């Protein structure tokens, strides 16, 4: 029979070292709260029952963790008396009876499903406790995993370790799986006879052995167990997450010319044969289809980019931008809440907001859709194969019909029928010989200002 599992996420820390008004596990990695990444990893290991131990910002932490299919129940830890005390804040959930109980931390957003599955496999094999450890590049300060003949004998804190034990590089990652049938009994046996008077989860190893049980350790990559306590560590975790996700995408067929300069969001979707040039940032909610090119120095958020479309360089796609196949958004253009039809071109220095641009249309440089009246937003509709000349202002709500032409420099306030030509500008006038007169006037005004300034 399939074993059921309860995951307990410890997320009640005070987060004092973050120096923030917001609790640590709410700080984002790739645009998503750390704790949500942990819930995703649990779901990847088919663990959908979650007990969330919260403290500061309890409601916000609970909301951030309530993602996907997982059922998340929150438990408030009123006092901070050690890791075992934190786990027992979820006593009610543990008492429901699960085959496996898995303890994880809300500030380890790089954890993946693989070590969580390995820990559960260890319980299924008949072990009472499974500790997730790692081989540390520098073990200084970490608790050492003392393993003999495949059995975990003890977790020795660095300050208590002998010189020989300090040479061990196999270290405690803090994550632990416990036989659910014995979990409450084992946890209740943990005492606080130590200098801090706290209840330490690591004591379970020796307690289990004293009762004739068995503990083992399973190994995870050091990177996955990286915890976060400071802003510097948050930036380090962000770098590791970005490196991992870029690598996954490139293996899946995405091209990145300078991957270290591309920044992804947790939900960025880039299809095979997408090309991303240097210095591109993807915010949340982006999907880019096959063959599209995102040119350098572009920012894309909440947008869909169709197959074979091109964006940038120096373009900004805001939420609601929907680019059709082989459309083009050029340099220094901004698109917001607008549908750009197949093959349509918005080439330079243009703003298209709250709009529809039909297939094959061309929008000239410097054109803007005047979508906001100071209170409400209004829609601009441009038909298929229309041409809007440079430096035009389209004052919404307004419709430009299929095949219509708008002359450069026009201010369009009325609908333009299909195949019509619209001029919305003042007639040019020429005043022969007036230029020297104006220059003389301007020079006199300038001299007068200088004289007043000198007198002051």
The three-state (H, E, C) secondary structure of 13-68, written as one string = CCCHHHCCCCCHHHCEECCEEHHHHHHHHHHHCCCCEEEEEEECEHHHHHHHHCCC
Q: Locate all alpha helices (DSSP H) within 54-112, ordered by sequence.
A: 58-65, 83-88, 91-94
CA separation, residue 439 to residues 84, 429, 445 (Å) = 84, 18, 10
Give the span between the Cα atoms of 42 and 100, in whole angstroms.
Answer: 13
245 lies in the same domain as 216: no
109 lies in the same domain as 196: yes
Q: Looking at residue 8, what is its pLDDT? A: 98
Of 154, 149, 106, residue with least CA distance to 133 = 154
Angle at which helices 113-124 and 34-44 cross, to 10°:
50
Residue 455 placed within a domain? no
Residue 431 placed within a domain? no
Q: How far apart are the first and last CA of the chain?
A: 93
Q: Are 56 and 92 in contact (CB under 8 A)?
A: no
Residue 277, C-beta contacts closer than 8 angstroms, at least 6 positions apart: 257, 258, 293, 294, 295, 296, 312, 313
Check 27, 295, 304, 348 and give the catalytic one: 348
297 lies in the same domain as 174: no
Q: Looking at residue 273, what is its pLDDT? A: 98
Residue 445 placed within a domain? no
Give residue 389's pLDDT band: very low, low, confident or very high (50, 70, 90).
Answer: very high
Residue 433 placed within a domain? no
**pLDDT tens digit sequence for 324-347:** 999 999 999 999 999 999 999 999
361 lies in the same domain as 400: yes
418 lies in the same domain as 377: yes
Give the mean pLDDT of 421-429.
Answer: 88
Q: Say yes or no to pLDDT of 1 above 60.
A: no
Q: Which of 199, 225, 251 is the last residue of a domain?
A: 225
Which structural domain, as residue segments, surrounds residue 162? 5-225
E-strand ranges in 151-191 read: 151-156, 170-179
218 lies in the same domain as 362: no
Q: Is 348 a catalytic residue?
A: yes
Give the span between the Cα atoms of 317 and 322, in whole angstroms.
Answer: 9
Q: Are 264 and 248 in contact (CB under 8 A)?
A: no
- φ/ψ of 337, rounded to 5, equals 45, 55
Give the span between the Cα atoms of 337 and 341, in whole angstroms.
Answer: 13
339 lies in the same domain as 260: yes
For residue 213, give both structure tokens. 């049980």
Give the mean pLDDT of 246-265.
Answer: 98
* Residue 250 belongs to domain with CATH number: 2.160.10.10
Mean pLDDT of the chain: 95
CA separation, residue 311 to residues 222, 340, 441 (Å) = 38, 12, 47
Residue 125, C-beta contacts closer than 8 angstroms, at least 6 positions apart: none
Percent of the chain, pLDDT > 90? 88
153 lies in the same domain as 173: yes
Least confident of 124-133, 149-158, 266-275: 149-158
Give the span between the Cα atoms of 30 and 266, in whole angstroms.
Answer: 5
Q: Locate all alpha helices (DSSP H) within 111-256, ordered by sequence.
A: 113-124, 163-166, 183-188, 204-210, 231-251
Residue 159 placed within a domain? yes
**What does the angle CA 213 – CA 133 – CA 246 come to, to the nearest 5 degrees?**
145
Q: Which of 177, 210, 225 is the last residue of a domain?
A: 225
62 lies in the same domain as 157: yes
Measure CA 187 to chain center.
36
Residue 137 placed within a domain? yes
pTM of the model: 0.90
Angle at which helices 34-44 and 58-65 cross, to 10°:
40
Q: Looking at residue 195, what is its pLDDT? A: 80
Q: For the chain, how many structural domains are there in total? A: 2
**DSSP line for 195-217:** TT----GGGHHHHHHHTT--EEE
Give residue 269's pLDDT band: very low, low, confident or very high (50, 70, 90).
Answer: very high
Residue 200 placed within a domain? yes
If one compares 172 and 428, the residue with the highest pLDDT of the two is 172
Q: Which of 192, 225, 258 is the last residue of a domain?
A: 225
Of 358, 293, 266, 347, residue with least CA distance to 67 = 266
Q: Looking at residue 68, what is its pLDDT? A: 82
Q: Are 6 and 100 in contact (CB under 8 A)?
A: yes
213 lies in the same domain as 241: no
Give the mean pLDDT of 92-104.
Answer: 96
Give the mean pLDDT of 64-79.
Answer: 92
> 400 - beta bridge partners?
382, 416
**pLDDT tens digit sequence for 99-137:** 999 999 999 999 999 999 999 999 999 999 999 999 999
Measure CA 335 to chain center.
21
């Amino acid at each position: 029979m399939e074993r059921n599992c309860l995951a307990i996420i410890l997320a009640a820390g005070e987060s004092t070292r973050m120096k923030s008004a917001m609790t640590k596990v709410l700080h984002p990695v790739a645009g998503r709260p750390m704790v949500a990444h942990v819930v995703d990893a649990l779901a990847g290991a088919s663990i959908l029952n979650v007990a969330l131990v919260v403290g500061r910002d309890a409601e916000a932490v609970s909301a951030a963790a309530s993602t996907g299919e997982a059922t998340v129940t929150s438990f408030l830890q009123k006092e901070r008396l050690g890791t075992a005390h934190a786990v027992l804040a979820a006593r009610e959930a543990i008492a429901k009876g699960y085959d496996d109980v898995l303890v994880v931390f809300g500030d380890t957003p790089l954890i993946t499903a693989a070590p969580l599955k390995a820990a559960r496999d260890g319980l299924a094999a008949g072990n009472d406790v499974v500790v997730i450890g790692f081989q540390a590049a520098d073990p200084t300060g970490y608790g050492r995993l003392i393993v003999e003949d495949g059995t975990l004998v003890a977790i020795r804190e660095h300050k208590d370790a002998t010189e020989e034990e300090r040479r061990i590089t196999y270290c405690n990652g803090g994550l632990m799986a416990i036989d659910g049938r014995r979990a409450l009994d084992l946890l209740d046996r943990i005492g606080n006879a130590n200098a801090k008077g706290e209840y330490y989860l690591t004591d379970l190893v020796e307690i289990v052995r004293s009762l004739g049980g068995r503990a083992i350790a399973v190994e995870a990559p050091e990177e996955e167990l990286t915890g976060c306590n400071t802003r510097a560590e948050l930036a380090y975790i962000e770098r590791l997450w970005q490196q991992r996700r870029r690598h996954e995408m490139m293996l899946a067929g995405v091209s990145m010319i300078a991957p270290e300069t591309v920044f992804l969001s947790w939900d960025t979707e880039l299809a095979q044969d997408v090309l991303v040039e240097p210095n591109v940032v993807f915010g949340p909610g982006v999907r880019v289809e096959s063959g599209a090119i995102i040119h350098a120095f572009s920012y894309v958020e909440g947008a869909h980019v169709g197959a074979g479309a091109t964006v940038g360089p120096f373009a900004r796609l805001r939420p609601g931008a929907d680019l059709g196949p082989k459309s083009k958004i050029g340099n220094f253009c901004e698109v917001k809440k607008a549908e750009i039809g197949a093959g349509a071109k918005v080439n330079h220095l243009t703003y298209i907001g709250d709009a529809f641009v039909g297939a094959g249309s061309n929008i000239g440089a410097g054109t803007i859709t005047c979508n906001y009246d100071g209170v409400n937003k209004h829609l601009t509709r441009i038909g298929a194969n229309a041409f809007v000349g440079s430096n035009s202002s389209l004052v919404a709500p307004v419709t430009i019909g299929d095949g219509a032409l708008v002359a450069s420099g026009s201010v369009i306030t009325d609908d333009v029928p299909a195949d019509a030509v619209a001029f919305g500008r003042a007639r040019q006038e020429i005043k022969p010989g007036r230029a020297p007169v104006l220059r003389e006037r301007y020079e006199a005004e300038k001299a007068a200002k200088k004289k007043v300034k000198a007198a002051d």
